[in-house]
Amino acid sequence: MTAPRPTLAAREAAAFGKVILLGEHAVVHGVPALAAGLPRALVLRARPLDDPRGPTELSIPAWDVRVQLAPGDDGAMHPVARAAAEVLALCDAPLAGLRIDGETTLPAGAGLGSSAALCVALARLALGPGAPAEEVVEASMAGERVFHGSPSGIDSEIAARGGVLRFVRGRPPEPIRPARPLPLVILPTGVPRRTADLVAHVGRFVRREPAVARPILEAIRGCVERGQAALEVGDHATLGRMFDACHGLLSALGVGHRRLDDLCAVARSAGALGAKLTGAGGGGCAIALAGDDPHRVAAAAATAGCTAIVTEIATA
Ligand code: PMV
């Protein structure tokens, strides 16, 4: 008897990348954060393998990912394979007989939500285009835990929903509507780092030095609230000041990096209204809120050896 062909609920699924505008790290400790989606940042396409019993293959050339999902040998598996297997298993989807190919515009491991985009797109492949975002997010979190230990969930929410979201850990996210499109310049440092290590570093600082760390978290809360109000009325000058303040506060929590400071300074000198690290820090990316000329900021970054990504966060 021939084995039945494994099928998924969808042939193609996409997910958003993300930038955290304000509130990273503090969000792990209960402070709100604002995140924005980068559209169709990852697209996955699935097709059946000739051998329906062969282990499912996942290939994303831009990230140098080429793994097989073999059930049962967890310890030996590549983390990407383990995360993918967790997501598909939670969705009751087949682990055999499929070939999944990914196309992406996101650099991996740079704080732009690559892992959450992968987990969300896999969950969408398995659950189908009509699946509610809550279900997609829940399934994706099984994979995100493999990558990041105990993530707040903000990356999965934005990867699934896009737009601009206000997120408080453990609560449903709230969509935010910017009054004007937000011209952002993403500045990758090329410095690798591990989100889980940086989150643990901040956690230790908060536990050991609460009298110092807690007021910093509260100041970040202030930046988030003031930044959200500014976003909602299109006051980019104030939002830019909140970016600058937040960058300093994150550095005080110990997640800065000299390259991030340098790129933020270059962006500000080229007319950006503000600049900060985004995501876990320690490397990864910075974001600059451009004034009237995002390309001037990108050109200045290029002279500093950084290939910037110019993007615009839409109003709805
Ligand atoms: O995925 P990254 O590296 O952009 O960082 C995630 C944001 C953190 O607030 C640092 C961690 C979290 O789980 O919210």
User: Measured in angstroms, how far is the CA atom of residue 23 from the centroid of ligand 1?
Assistant: 10
pLDDT value at residue 73? 58
Confidence of residue 110 (pLDDT cuts 50, 70, 90): confident
Query: Which residue has the CA at smallest separation from atom 1 of ligand 1?
Result: 111
User: Measured in angstroms, how far is the CA atom of residue 305 from the centroid of ligand 1?
Assistant: 25
User: Measured in angstroms, how far is the CA atom of residue 194 from the centroid of ligand 1?
Assistant: 10
User: Measured in angstroms, how far is the CA atom of residue 225 from the centroid of ligand 1?
Assistant: 19
Task: Give me the active site residues, please.
Answer: 155
CA of 28, closest atom in ligand 1:
14
Q: Is 277 helix (H, G, I), strand (E, B) or coil?
A: strand
Query: Which residue has the CA at smallest separation from atom 7 of ligand 1?
Result: 279
User: Measured in angstroms, how far is the CA atom of residue 301 from the centroid of ligand 1?
Assistant: 24
pLDDT value at residue 7? 78
CA of 279, closest atom in ligand 1:
4
Best substitution site from 148, 197, 276 to test ligand 1's pocket, by max atoms within 8 Å of Cβ? 148
pTM for this predicted structure: 0.87
As a whole number, mean pLDDT of residues 22-44 equals: 94
pLDDT digits (tens, 9 = 90+) for 187-232: 999 999 988 899 999 999 999 999 999 999 999 999 999 999 999 9
CA of 110, closest atom in ligand 1:
3
CA of 115, closest atom in ligand 1:
1
Residue 289 has pLDDT above 80, yes or no: yes
Residues lining ligand 1, Cβ inside 6 A: 20, 24-25, 27-28, 111, 151-152, 154-155, 195, 199, 279-280, 284
Q: Is 215 helix (H, G, I), strand (E, B) or coil?
A: helix
Confidence of residue 25 (pLDDT cuts 50, 70, 90): very high
What are the chain's domains?
12-176 (3.30.230.10), 182-313 (3.30.70.890)
Kindly state the helix (H) or strand (E) to which residue 82 belongs, with its residue range: helix 79-90
